[in-house]
Amino acid sequence: MTHNTPKPNIIFILVDALRASNLGSFGYPKPITPTLDKLATRGTTFEKCFSCTNASDPALTSLMSGMYTRSHGILHHSYEVAQKEINTMDQRNVKFIQQILKEHGYNTYALDFLARWHMRGYDYYPELKIDRTKRKKQLNRISRFFKFLHIKPLFKKISHTNTFRKIFGGFDAYPKDTDTTVKAVELIQTSTKDNKQPYFLFVHYWGVHKPYTCPDVENKRSTQCYDNAIETVDKHIAEILDAANEQDIIVVVGDHAESLGEHGISFDHHGLYDPSLHVPLIFAGKNIPEGKRINALSCTTDIFSTLLDLAHITYNAKTDSVSLVPLMQDKVQEVRKEVYTEENYYQDKAAIRTTNHKFIKTIGQGICQQCHIVHGGDIELYDLTQDPQELNNIAQKHPDVVKEYSEKIDILIQ
């Protein structure tokens, strides 16, 4: 393809904490995702996409840079992201997809609220009701005080309560999904009318992230509430798709997934088991095969290279991303052997996910600061062909396999 090929508009829809298994197109029996299921029939679904981390700040950084957390340097989340991590990212010249697209003539818009470094490279980024940098400093100070009293885990717990958020400006201060949709439709319509430059629109929905947005469901920590939130976001996505052109590239993904009780992790996304990592990944639009389903392994970082590929942009810097286009075109059977994933919020663990295996290793804080237990032990190995729910730890029976994966992780985290 030549560089003169017209560049497609790209609409990147991120549904925070959306797990794959609760979509109809992934076999969920409740009909809560008619829009996403329809999108799957007019596009290509990646059935085995896993996130490379499970907290929003590092996950978004990975999505936009195509790099694992260890590669870009943002390991932590929220107020725990140290300036040092941001400096590391800058020293490594990490570039986000919106910055690259902008250099290639795209108008770039984000409907996001994570702010700070996530704002880079956009022509439009909403004004937030709170200053996230200032809030981060405040929270850091309070967190240090709790640490001084040796009750830091308690701080993490209360920082997720609605009362705390009211006082310190938590998610309530972020835009509502309804407003996000209105603005998204407006941006699409204005850009389509101008029609001079292609656009990249990043839309971040928050309703499926805890506390789930389900006004009519009483128990906010329930699968019913989670499903209700998904159903609402699905309707928002319908409005965006209605406004968009059939030829526009659409991608829908979760930055991480959500555990609904599996492995003792309830209505949260920590842990490196599949329920917290397995996300739906759907592409649709120009040159994307219709109704195709791909079972090969993919990672959320791969969206980066796939979108650049679809926009005919060559980018040679080293990333942890590989284009999924050859899979869509049946040119290859697989693009990666494994996904590396890591968490550094309630516990410090790293994992390697292959088609057949999950290996999880404790690399720091082993006791979960939310549940006050060690989930699954310090070393875990699961044979996913026999045990897809990761219930039978076979690490002791296979020291050779454990050694191989363990050494791989040691190299990655040094």
Binding site for Zn ion (CB under 5 A): 16, 56, 255, 368, 370-371
| Closest distance of CB 263 from Zn ion, Å | 8
| Closest distance of CB 304 from Zn ion, Å | 17
Listing DSSP states for 185-227 in one string gives HHHHHHHHHH-SS-EEEEEEE-TTSSSP--TT-S-SSSHHHHH
Strand, coil or helix: 244: coil
Scored b (16 or more CB within 10 A) or e, 315-326 reads beeebbbbbbbe
The nearer residue to Zn ion, 56 or 228, going by C-beta atoms, is 56
The nearer residue to Zn ion, 281 or 311, going by C-beta atoms, is 281
| Closest distance of CB 195 from Zn ion, Å | 33
The residue written with tokens 């791909």 in the block is 294
The nearer residue to Zn ion, 282 or 368, going by C-beta atoms, is 368
The nearer residue to Zn ion, 229 or 313, going by C-beta atoms, is 229
169 within 8 A of 386, measured Cβ to Cβ: no
| Closest distance of CB 288 from Zn ion, Å | 25
The nearer residue to Zn ion, 355 or 369, going by C-beta atoms, is 369
| Closest distance of CB 3 from Zn ion, Å | 35
The nearer residue to Zn ion, 70 or 256, going by C-beta atoms, is 256
| Closest distance of CB 236 from Zn ion, Å | 17
The nearer residue to Zn ion, 32 or 60, going by C-beta atoms, is 60
**Residue 86 half-sphere exposure, CB side, CA atoms within 13 Å?**
14
Strand, coil or helix: 251: strand
Distance CA 34, CA 152 (A): 42
| Closest distance of CB 399 from Zn ion, Å | 27
Strand, coil or helix: 174: coil
**In sequence order, which residues have a C-beta less than 8 Å from that of residue 301 and are 6 or more positions away?**
52, 62, 63, 65, 66, 67, 68, 319, 320, 321
| Closest distance of CB 196 from Zn ion, Å | 34
The nearer residue to Zn ion, 35 or 56, going by C-beta atoms, is 56
Bridge partners, residue 351, by sequence = 341, 360
Q: How long, in residues, is the chain?
A: 414
Closest CA to 128 of 206, 75, 198, 71: 206
The nearer residue to Zn ion, 230 or 368, going by C-beta atoms, is 368
Distance CA 227, CA 212 (A): 9
Distance CA 144, CA 230 (A): 36
The nearer residue to Zn ion, 7 or 72, going by C-beta atoms, is 72
| Closest distance of CB 16 from Zn ion, Å | 4
Closest CA to 387 of 378, 397, 373: 397
| Closest distance of CB 375 from Zn ion, Å | 6
Distance CA 130, CA 127 (A): 9
Scored b (16 or more CB within 10 A) or e, 46-59 reads bbbbbbbbbbbbbb
